[in-house]
């Protein structure tokens, strides 16, 4: 019997499919590393890509990559159970990136920036080790909107968040399949799929500049559903159009 999906689950799957198709995000034989932090966005991304494998008219592979920041070396157990249950390959590694970001080693940057830098560097190394062609992040529409306003206000640049970006002379492509999906739909879909999201034990969680700008964006639309819809729809359509143009150019 065909599985009946909820509205939120359909939004995640169909929006990811739309982004993937219209931007040529992946190709036959793609080997995708999925950066899974344990948060709701990356968890949902992993589930969406696993399900997209059933309907995409060509074969592609996925591999979960989890870099435990080092505050709780056992927090990722739900991911290990998920990977074993669904037969998804994965690389799980306990690092010291979190404590290092909060130590004297990090003298100039915020803990979040330094930890993210260490994590991104390691992700690139693992993509090379496993001969992965793509690296997928769970950034969503809320992230796109916040990034747009951060770039505009802090740097004076009209710039969002790329849906598809080539690194290392095209040897690796970073993709963001959920960039058209709002956080609220991702949260509902993850709950309905019973994904075992775990909490972030980082002492700086929720205290970054990004968190401050997310609050400013909420203040901008003031909870007005129509204003928020127009704001999000305008920026996601703009970003999708830019990516399509770059992909066809």
Residues 6+ apart with CB under 8 A from 82: 46, 88, 195, 196
At what angle are helices 183-192 and 7-23 packed, to 10 degrees? 120
Q: Enter the pTM of the model.
A: 0.93
Confidence (pLDDT) at 205: 67
Q: Which residue has the higher pLDDT, 198 or 184?
A: 184
> In 24-110, which residue ranges form alpha helices assigned H by DSSP?
40-52, 77-86, 97-101
Q: How far is CA 197 from CA 37, 41, 184, in A?
A: 9, 9, 15
At 126-152, the pLDDT tens digits run 999 999 999 999 999 999 999 999 999
* Strand runs labelled E in 69-161: 90-94, 134-136
Assess whether pLDDT exceeds 60 at residue 1.
no
pLDDT of residue 249: 63
DSSP 103: S
Between CA 140 and CA 161 the distance in angstroms is 10
Find the mean pLDDT for residues 85-91. Answer: 98
Order of strands across the sheet that contains 90-94: 90-94, 61-68, 31-35, 134-136, 172-175, 164-167
Beta bridge partners of 65: 35, 91
* pLDDT-above-70 percentage for the chain: 96
> From the CB of residue 83, how many other CB atoms can be counted at a distance below 10 Å?
19
Nearby residues of 75 by Cβ (< 8 Å), 6 or more positions away: 38, 68, 198, 201
Structure tokens at 144: 């796109």
pLDDT, tens digit, 9 for 90 and up, residues 46-60: 999 999 999 999 999
For all residues of the chain together, what is the average pLDDT? 92
* Residue 44 scores a pLDDT above 70: yes
């Amino acid at each position: 019997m065909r599985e009946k999906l909820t509205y939120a689950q359909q939004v995640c799957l169909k929006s990811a499919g739309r982004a993937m198709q219209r931007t040529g995000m992946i190709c036959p034989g793609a080997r995708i590393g999925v950066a899974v932090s344990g948060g709701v966005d990356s968890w949902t991304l992993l589930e969406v890509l696993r399900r997209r494998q059933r309907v995409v008219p060509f074969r592609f592979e996925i591999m979960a990559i989890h870099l435990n920041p080092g505050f709780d070396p056992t927090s990722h157990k739900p991911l290990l159970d998920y990977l074993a249950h669904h037969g998804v390959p994965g690389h799980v590694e306990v690092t010291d990136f979190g404590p290092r970001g909060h130590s004297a080693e990090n003298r100039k940057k915020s803990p979040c920036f330094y930890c993210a830098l260490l994590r991104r560097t390691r992700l690139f190394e693992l993509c090379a080790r496993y001969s992965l062609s793509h690296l997928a992040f769970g950034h969503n529409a809320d992230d796109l909107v916040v990034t747009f306003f951060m770039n505009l206000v802090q740097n004076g640049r009209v710039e969002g968040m790329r849906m598809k970006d080539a690194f290392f002379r095209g040897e690796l492509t970073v993709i963001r399949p959920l960039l058209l999906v709002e956080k609220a739909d991702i949260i509902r879909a993850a709950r309905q799929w019973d994904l075992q999201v775990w909490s972030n034990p980082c002492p700086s969680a929720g205290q970054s500049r990004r968190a401050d700008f997310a609050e400013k964006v909420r203040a901008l639309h003031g909870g007005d559903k129509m204003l928020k819809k127009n704001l999000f729809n305008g920026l996601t359509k703009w970003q999708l159009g830019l990516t399509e143009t770059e992909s066809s150019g």
